[in-house]
Amino acid sequence: METLTPAANSWLTLPAHRHWLARQGQRLLEFAKAARIEDGFADLDNRGRPVLASGALTIQTARMTHSFALACLQGIPGSAAMVDHGIRALQGPLRDARHGGWHASARPASTSRKQAYLHAFVALAASSAVAAGRPGAAALLADAVDVLERRFWCEVEQAFVESFAQDWSDQEDYRGGNSNMHGVEACLALADVCNDTRWLDRALAISERLIHQHAAATNYLPVEHFDAHWQALPDYNHDRPGDEFRPYGQTPGHAFEWARLLLHLEAARHRIGLANPSWLAEDAQHLFAAACRVGWAVDGQPGIVYTVDWQQRPVVAQRLHWTLAEAVAAAAALYQRTGDASHERWYREFWDYIDLYLIDREHGSWHHELDTGNQPAQTIWPGKPDLYHAYQATLLPTLPLAPSLATALARQSGLG
């Protein structure tokens, strides 16, 4: 494996561009600080006010803890206190003291389930907090790893199962591409922080099933929904095409996200001398090309549509901010890996779009959803609750493909 030095005129190497990325990241962090409430972190509305009616949410608390741990490693003042607040919330009001694992919120409904997706983010948050050297992080990480391994990782399937009832009964007869994708992300971080190569083997097994088998057979767009035997469910949520986490059809944004993760996995394994199949880099390029082909400006307007059907026609044409964040990060990763100038051109085009349409210079952060005319909308993503995607997009282009984000920043800061 070889990563190439970017050309001298690449945006990835220009000091002014890196300064711009850092400034955008700091704007995002300042906006997100308002999400802190007593029991963790809440959603934010369009003007950056916490949505108190929903209370503290575990997914937001985990993502904020992870993001502020990255900021702490960068030396951003005020970040350490945010990380410590998140750790206390995840060890206290958000944790299920009776059955173990984490509730969805500080005020969970009796019908809410324990999701692999959410627990992967708790593990990611804990690993980043450990890398940042925060008190209580090691205990949180040990707890999160224990739950992932005992409850969600299935050695027979070599993948994460999806969800359970609060008492760990009633395992769901569904397997999710999205939860396993974020499981791969967590695996990459855990391999570094725990110094355990088993997590890289697990990440490879998941990636081989979901990408090299299923996505490769469907024009390199990830398949999102499966039954308990890993048979695809092409009609899943046909009546709910705009679902926030389980939409019908295929999602170009996830093809970008997977492309980046495959390159991180390849680099992580190479860095410690583990064998890599050639398809990791090859499939990453196919995924990126497919996402650009079926997602970008396919309805005549710039932007990436949320979902397409199995004939690769747009279904939900809203533009979601996270798809652009993942697209720009994937373009940067592919340019680092291949040196292909076309990826750098895409990198510039995606950032130009983000600057023109997504960055909200009046109220802060990024608009989370735009309509087909690239005007702010709220049909899928109300408010601006998400720091994680946009903030990572300002960091990933400045770092090597391995180690993972927090570990890379820790080494830069002298902590790793």
Question: Is 17 designated active site?
Answer: no
- 154: phi then psi, degrees, rounded to nearest 5: -110, 110
Distance separating alpha carbons of residues 263 and 256, to the nearest angstrom: 11
Distance separating alpha carbons of residues 258 and 165, to the nearest angstrom: 29
Within 111-216, strands assigned E span: 114-115, 153-154, 159-160, 163-164, 175-176
Amino acid at 285: Q
Dihedral (Cα; 9, 14, 20, 23), 10-degree rounding: 160
Residue 183: count of CB within 10 angstroms of its CB: 26
- According to DSSP, the residues that pair with 320 across neighbouring strands are 369
Alpha helix positions (H), 148-278: 177-193, 198-207, 252-271
- Where on the phi/psi map is residue 112: left (φ > 0), alpha (ψ -120 to 50), or beta? beta
- Choosing from 119, 214, 264, 389, the catalytic residue is 389
Residues 6+ apart with CB under 8 A from 215: 221, 222, 223, 255, 258, 283, 287
Q: Which helix (H) or strand (E) holds 306?
A: strand 305-308
Distance separating alpha carbons of residues 161 and 175, to the nearest angstrom: 6
Do the Cβ atoms of 178 and 117 come closer than 8 Å?
yes
- Choosing from 254, 264, 321, 367, the catalytic residue is 254
Question: Is 214 designated active site?
Answer: no
Residue 251 vs residues 177, 332, 348: alpha-carbon distances, Å? 11, 20, 22
> Which residues belong to the active site?
254, 389
